[in-house]
Structures are given as C-alpha cells and as structure tokens.
C-alpha cells in the first residue's frame, strides 16, 4: 500500500523506477503491435464481448459496473454471462463455473460476489478467451469480461474503462513508477470512460455507488440492521478493496462512527482475524467483496452493506444500440 500512496505523488521515490517504466512501455507497445498486425492471434468469439476494465492498477469500481451491465442486459432480453481471471483464486481445474459449492478461495472474491448477486453463468479462467468460449457453450448471447482490457488475445466488441474519480491516474506514470498499465492515450480507443465518484470530465460518464438501506448479516441466523441500529456500539470497518477509503467514506456518510482497518485488495480473511476483530468490537462492518470470503467462517458479528452503481442513463442507451447493431437488430430501445 505504500507504493500506491507514492503513486499519487508527482515526485516521490518511485521516480527511481522510471527506467523500468520505459522498458515496460516498450513491451506494452510491442505486444499491442503484434496483436494489431496478426503476429499474435486474437481468438474470435461467436457473441459480442464487453470488457469492463481500466488502465491503472488497483480497484476502480469495475465489479459494480459489471453488475449494473449484467442487469441492464437481463432487463433487455439478453442472456449474459460473466468471465473473469479469478484473481486470488486457486482453482484446481479451468474453466471453472462459479456455483454455491465453489468457495471464494477457489474462484476469487469478485466472481463469487457476482455469482451471489445474479443468477447468470460466471466462468473463471486465467485464459479469458477460453472462458468466453465456455460461457457461449452455456448459452450466453453476450459475455461481460470483468477486467481484461490488456488481455488482447480475447476479442471484444465494446470496452468500458472505469476511472476512480478520486485517484484518477495518480502521477501519470506507467508501472512500476506509477499505477498505469497502459498510457492514458489508451482511453481514446475505448467505447466509453466511466468516472466512479466526483469529477467526471466532459467526455466521461458519471457513476456513483448507492448503498442499500440495510446492513446484511454474514450469519444467516441474524437479522439485517439499519444504520440507526449501530448507534452507541463499538464498530470496526474493514475493507480489502482497491480503494478502502471509499468504503470508509460511505460509512462516515451514514453518520456511523467506526474505527477503520484497510487491507490489501483481495486480502485473505481468516478465522483468526475474525475472532480478533469480534473480541474487541460489538460489530464488524465489511464490504460485500470481503464478505464472500467469510461464508465458511464464524462471523456472527460481521455485517456488510451492498452497493449498486448508478450510471449516466445515456451510456445504457448507447450500449444497447451498439449491441443491437452488432446483432443486426433494429434499434428499438
């Protein structure tokens, strides 16, 4: 996390890594050129693929966008599926279809969250092109890739780039001296840029995260709580996401006073950690992404707050129009 903080400064010790960033830039550009000229093969898909990704390291809010997009497609008669690399997962065999019996340890926290939220196929495979083919075999007529903008072997029809409105692109340098996986000019080629949070630019679509009304319990025997139920309790807010401060700001915005504990993105959560938290606090508040890692743990004092993405409605119209055009359907949306 120290390097992520350094990435937000124009001048920090990461300037010493600029020679490695130059090498990284040359590799990125050479790789893109090889795919563009056919030296490396792009695997075509029988159905449109929509990539939800970013050009910077760390979480920018992609998963809420994936959920929003999947629901939009369902509401308009499509049969979507989601594919993911399954970061942090340790599946014994791929492709892996996420189900109730598959733990987050095997499939990764984000695929597990998506599968819990929506009754659609979620396929995990480090080779996303293989995951797409398997999703199509399951009946999907459009595939959403959770991340994968840099996975050029996978063909795509639409790219949606998500930008964190608070952190933007940090110092603007490429890895490892900065957070960028690709130059900012890469955004010129995407279908749309979605700004998560404040400060969308004129060519970006605005997005905000809207929390649900109730805190949901991890333990099924417990009842949901409203924010007023948390008054006068000793609370700990835990977040193992790309930008933990966003969750802490949400908690504070609900007039909830809590100690905060940021974890690394995708950090494992163990029973020992849960026991320690629960022994010192009345309740532990967590993100939905972290909770999927606790389903098999004794977490009676742990609650989470689901959030939904609210995105400029113009983008929904443009996506549906593009997909209808690709499928040879008159635009009636």
Q: pLDDT of 296-325, one tens digit each?
A: 899 999 999 999 999 999 999 999 999 999
pLDDT for 258 equals: 97
Binding site: residue ranges?
56-63
CB 153 within 8 Å of CB 91: no
pLDDT in tens, 151-193: 999 999 999 999 999 889 999 999 999 999 999 999 999 999 9
Angstrom distance (rounded) from CA 9 to CA 6: 5
pLDDT in tens, 84-139: 998 767 777 899 999 988 988 899 899 999 999 999 999 999 999 999 999 999 99
Same fold, 30-208+313-326 and 213-305: yes
CATH number given to 213-305: 3.40.50
Helix (H, G, I), strand (E, B) or coil at 215: strand
Pairing of strands 302-304, 214-217: antiparallel
4-24 exposure pattern, b = at least 16 Cβ within 10 A, e = fewer: bebbeeeebebeebeeebeeb
240-275 exposure pattern, b = at least 16 Cβ within 10 A, e = fewer: bbbbbebbbebbeebebebebbbbebbbebeeebbe
Residues contacting 239, CB < 8 A, separation 6+ = 246, 247, 248, 260, 261, 262, 263, 286, 287, 290
CB 66 within 8 Å of CB 144: yes
Torsion of CA 193, 196, 200, 201, to 10 degrees: -30
Angstrom distance (rounded) from CA 266 to CA 289: 8
pLDDT for 9 equals: 80
Pairing of strands 259-262, 283-286: unpaired
Query: Cβ–Cβ contacts within 10 Å for residue 3, how many?
Result: 16
pLDDT for 266 equals: 84
Percent of the chain at pLDDT exceeding 70: 98
Helix (H, G, I), strand (E, B) or coil at 308: strand
CB 175 within 8 Å of CB 181: yes
Binding site for ATP: residue ranges?
56-63
pLDDT at 277 over 90: yes
pLDDT band at 329 (very low <50, low <70, confident <90, very high): low
Average pLDDT over residues 226-244: 93
CATH fold, domain 30-208+313-326, is Rossmann fold (3.40.50)
pTM, to two decimals: 0.92
Query: Cβ–Cβ contacts within 10 Å for residue 138, how many?
Result: 13
pLDDT at 1 over 70: no
Average pLDDT over residues 258-263: 96
Angstrom distance (rounded) from CA 16 to CA 177: 7
Tell me what the pLDDT averaged over the chain comes to: 92
Q: Where are the chain's structural domains?
A: 30-208+313-326, 213-305
pLDDT for 243 equals: 85
């Amino acid at each position: 996390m120290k390097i992520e903080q350094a990435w937000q400064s124009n001048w920090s010790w990461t300037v010493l890594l600029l020679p490695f960033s130059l090498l990284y830039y040359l590799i990125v550009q050479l790789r893109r050129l090889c795919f563009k000229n056919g030296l490396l093969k792009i695997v075509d898909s029988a159905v449109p693929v929509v990539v939800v990704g970013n050009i910077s390291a760390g979480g920018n809010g992609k998963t809420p966008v994936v959920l929003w997009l999947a629901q939009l497609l369902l509401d308009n008669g499509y049969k979507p599926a989601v594919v993911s690399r399954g970061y942090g997962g340790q599946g014994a065999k791929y492709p892996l279809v996420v189900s109730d019996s598959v733990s987050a340890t095997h499939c990764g926290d984000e695929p597990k969250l998506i599968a819990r939220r929506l009754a659609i196929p979620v396929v995990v495979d480090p080779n996303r092109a293989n995951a797409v083919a398997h999703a199509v075999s399951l009946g999907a007529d459009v595939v959403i890739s959770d991340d994968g903008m840099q996975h050029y072997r996978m063909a795509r029809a639409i790219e949606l780039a998500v930008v964190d409105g608070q952190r933007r692109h940090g110092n603007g340098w490429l890895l490892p001296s900065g957070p960028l996986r690709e130059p900012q000019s890469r955004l010129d080629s995407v279908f749309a840029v979605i700004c998560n949070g404040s400060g969308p630019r004129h060519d970006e679509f605005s997005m905000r995260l809207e929390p649900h009304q109730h805190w949901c319990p991890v333990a099924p025997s417990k009842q949901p709580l409203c924010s007023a139920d948390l008054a006068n309790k000793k609370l700990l807010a835990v977040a193992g996401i790309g930008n933990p401060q966003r969750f802490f700001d949400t908690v504070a915005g609900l007039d909830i006073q809590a100690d905060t504990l940021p974890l690394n993105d995708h950090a494992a959560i163990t029973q020992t950690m849960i026991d320690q938290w629960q022994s010192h606090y009345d309740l532990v508040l967590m993100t939905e992404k972290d909770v999927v890692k606790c389903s098999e743990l004794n977490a009676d004092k742990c609650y989470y707050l689901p959030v939904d993405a609210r995105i400029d409605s113009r983008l929904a119209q443009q996506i549906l129009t593009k997909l209808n055009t690709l499928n040879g359907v008159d635009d009636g949306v």
